Amino acid sequence: MKNVNYSPLVGILTSKGQKKDSFRGDLSVFKSIQKEIMKIGGLSFIFTTDGVCEDHVLGYIYYESQEKWGPISFPFPDIIYNKVSFRKDEETTSFQSLYHLYKQEHKYFFNPSFFDKWEIHQTLSASKQLTSYLPETWIYTNMTDLLNKLHTYHSLYLKPKNGHKGQGIYNIVYDQSSYYIHKENNRIKYDESDFVHDIEKLINQRHYLLQKDIQTDLIDNCKYDLRILCLYNHNGFHKICGIGIRKAVKNSIITHVPNGGEIVSFEKIKHICPIEELNWLSETVGALLTKQYGFIGEFSLDVGLTPKGKPIIFEVNSKPMIFDERDIQKRRITHLVQLFSVLNNTN
């Protein structure tokens, strides 16, 4: 086993790739973390649970001169940064054993798991401070309940409880005579029987949430939302590291870039964006998440703004995607490495 004198030594836990000795994840991010952490005398490496042995971990580092990843044996890292790609991988015995080992030894395990949307809603709505920042949300139970709520509120969102990247989201509407299902930028009109049939087909035994549609501010008559990156800092609070704006295409309900969304400059909404209130939300949500889940090093908020600039929290993500804004992503890597160093010195 290689004698490692790097401090901090950070293990980036990922999912296995399809080929032997391969792994999933964004390699450019992993390279950036390794490059940045080496500037302060530390080292990061990639590993999967398959590489965890009784007294060492088989991981991978990037050899810049050879432009390739290579395997090395490491001692157990000081900190584990959880970037596992799939929920099912976090449910395995090997993952859970590793997590509980670090918990038992009071070592930092960055973000223990993906979030469950319903659990998150229950956690946040239990705080009286946050009630007004959350859209009314219910777990889907049956079609009768869905129709009753739709007749009351006229417009709802259907969201998969464990969905991500905007997949499987529908806007359903009732206008006193007809029903509509809106997916991405496609809207179809129905009578009640066909509507019920198609909704049941779309849900198809998956666990869904119903969420009241909230009127939000628009850019060029299109929906948009804020992607707010929040990182834990040495003062014990979560602070905003960056805010990205994502605008949907015309008539679409999805703002995610891979689904046709557009990156918009923050300057376009600066006049209506309540920065101090968002900073408070970052701290408050971060504290509640940590209490519920354990140490949360980073998370992101998907936030809409009402026409008067009131923030509404639509989603909380435990593993924020890469930010296309280079300045935000660069700042993220720098802050992460600084946080790894601070956490290692407090262990």
The Cα 209–Cα 172 span in angstroms is 12
> Residue 103: pLDDT above 70?
yes
- Cα separation of the two ends of the chain: 24
- Closest-CA residue to 312 (of 281, 346, 266): 281
The Cα 65–Cα 317 span in angstroms is 35
Non-local (6+) Cβ contacts of 327 within 8 A are 242
pLDDT tens for 170-205 read 999 999 999 999 987 789 999 999 999 999 998 876
In the predicted model, what is the mean pLDDT of the chain?
Answer: 92
In this prediction, residue 163 carries a pLDDT of: 74
> Residue 1: pLDDT above 50?
no
Q: Give CA separation, 307 vs 11, 261, 268, 269, 343, in Å.
A: 44, 20, 14, 11, 40
In this prediction, residue 165 carries a pLDDT of: 66
What proportion of the chain, given as a percentage, has pLDDT over 70? Answer: 97
In this prediction, residue 166 carries a pLDDT of: 67
* CA 132 to chain CA mean position, Å: 22
pLDDT tens for 22-36 read 799 999 999 999 999
- Per DSSP, the three-state class of 278 is helix
- Per DSSP, the three-state class of 296 is coil
* CA 187 to chain CA mean position, Å: 27
pLDDT tens for 111-158 read 889 999 999 999 999 999 999 999 999 999 999 999 999 999 999 999
In this prediction, residue 19 carries a pLDDT of: 78
β-pairing, 43-47 vs 9-13, is: parallel
Cβ-contact 172, 182 below 8 angstroms: yes
- Mean pLDDT is highest, among 13-17, 51-55, 164-168, 275-279, for 275-279
Residue 115 DSSP label: P
What proportion of the chain, given as a percentage, has pLDDT over 90? Answer: 79
> Residue 337: pLDDT above 50?
yes
Average pLDDT, stretch 5-27? 88
Q: How many CB atoms lie within 10 A of CB 221?
A: 7
- Closest-CA residue to 83 (of 63, 113, 60, 59): 113
In this prediction, residue 275 carries a pLDDT of: 96
pLDDT tens for 71-100 read 999 999 999 999 999 999 999 999 999 999
Q: Is 286 exposed, middle or buried (0-12, 13-18, 19+ CB in 10 A)?
A: buried
- Closest-CA residue to 340 (of 79, 69, 146, 116): 79
What's the whole-model pTM score? Answer: 0.92
pLDDT tens for 262-277 read 999 999 999 999 999 9
The residues that bridge with 14 in the sheet, in sequence order, are none
The Cα 31–Cα 334 span in angstroms is 13
Q: How confident is the model at residue 18 (pLDDT cuts 50, 70, 90)?
A: confident
